[in-house]
A and B are shown apart, each in its own frame.
Chain A
Amino acid sequence: MAEAANELRDAEARFDQRIKRDERVEPKDWMPDGYRRTLIRQISQHAHSEVIGMQPEGSWITRAPSLKRKLILLAKVQDEGGHGLYLYSAAETLGASRDEMIDALQEGRAKYSSIFNYPALTWADIGAIGWLVDSAAIVNQIPLQRCSYGPYARAMVRICKEESFHQRQGYDIMLTLARGTAAQKAMAQDALDRWWWPTLMMFGPPDAESVHTSQSFAWKIKRHSNDELRQKFIDQAVPQAEVLGLAIPDPDLAWDEASGHYRIGPIDWDEFQRVVAGDGPCNRQRLAHHRRVREDGAWVREAVEAHAAKARARGARVGVEGAPDAAV
């Protein structure tokens, strides 16, 4: 007993040292249960956000205004699915099971970013989502590239690189509309009006009310507070809106010379709480769609499994034989 307790104490000390020295924790390292649980929750919810995030944009693939825009949007939505897969895989390195994570999403035990509970009503929303929502995601994700858990940090490096295309194509749509006819410009302004505040809410509650923050800081899962990241986004986005010639929908927005930051008016946190609690414009629709697609796709998964089982029975290997360098 004493020996086991000593071993545990040594393992904890090694973990603490590792975090203190800013080293990455890898899947086979000992880690506290709370660290593992926190990461599984955060990474799986991040994965769910990517996958649910395919819906508002996916709804415009068949209605894109040109073949070029359609190809771009297809590529973007495909990326979001890919990001979900990187993240589910990272969570699986912690011992989480894919089915359990998906069940938690569908049963409402796991959340996803509340931004995806808003509808994409016009083509300009596709521009606003890429520009604002993906910019906010990048601001959130850049520090996660240095998160203490290795597989999550490495997934973030890949994702951030790909997100920069998402952000650019969104801004490109906004720019095209803003330089177009009066009706097109009005459509761009309307999209900005509807997406601005929900985007600011993406960074989570104000620091004073944030529940999970302090332990995540100690574990170096989180490195900047919600308010710091929100401010960073605002300082970037306001001048970008000026280049578009569009107005940020906030009468209190002002440049604060002393601090070198833009100051904004109050955020409607009641709205945020309502949407997180399940009462946003599209919460039910998003989950219903996810359930339907999972059910509709079940036969494909079964068919692939049946094919693999048949091949195994024949003694053949599924896929291509041959070691990478052995034949050379």
Chain B
Amino acid sequence: MPLFEVFVRPRRGLQHQHAGSLRAEDAELALQYAREIYTRRREGVSLWVVRSSDITASQEDDAPAFFDPADDKPYRDATYYALPKEVKGL
């Protein structure tokens, strides 16, 4: 039985967030199961199910090398720039 990843939109205006996974015979049933498993307490207003095998993921082991291009660029954050105290609204 294929594995599905479940995404829940907590309320309108927010994006779907990964909630977990489940096994199901097909996508239609995965949606039914997801409702019973992940939204029994009104956790969401919309569900997505995606076959896990359809997700291409970065590798956990490679994460440091994969993401390190961002490590030495603190100037991408606004707080990198010191402002005189009297400046407002920046």
Q: A residues within 8 Å of B by Cβ?
A: 18, 23-24, 26, 68, 71-72, 75, 79, 135, 150, 153-154, 162, 164-165, 167-169, 171-172, 175, 236, 239-240, 243, 317, 319-326
Contacts and interface: CB of A to CB of B under 8 A. Distances in A.
Contacts of B89: 135, 236, 239-240
Interface stretch (B25-33, B34-42, B77-85): B77-85
A243 B75 contact: no
Interface residues of B, number: 31
A26 B57 contact: no
A112 B15 CA distance: 28
Contact of B81 (A79, A169, A243, A322): A169
B57 A322 contact: yes
A151 B23 CA distance: 30
A26 B14 CA distance: 10
B86 interface: yes
Contacts of A79: 76
A172 B81 contact: yes
Contacts of A321: 56
B3 interface: yes
A171 B3 contact: no
Contacts of B76: 75, 79, 162, 165
13 contacts: A23-B13, A71-B75, A75-B75, A75-B76, A79-B76, A153-B13, A154-B13, A154-B15, A164-B90, A165-B80, A169-B81, A172-B81, A320-B57
B90 A24 contact: no
Interface in B13-67: 13, 15, 18, 20-21, 46, 52-53, 55-59
B1 interface: no
Contact of A243 (B3, B12, B15, B84): B84
Nearest to B52: A323
Nearest to A26: B12
A171 B81 contact: yes
A211 to B, nearest CB: 28
B5 to A, nearest CB: 7
Contact of A150 (B12, B80, B87): B12
Given A23-B12, A23-B13, A326 B75 contact: no
Given A153-B13, A320-B57, A326 B90 contact: no
Contact of B55 (A153, A167, A172, A324): A324
B59 A72 contact: no
B13 A326 contact: no
Contacts of B3: 323, 326
Contact of B13 (A24, A75, A162, A172): A24
A321 B12 CA distance: 32
B78 A164 contact: yes
Contact of A236 (B57, B75, B80, B88): B88
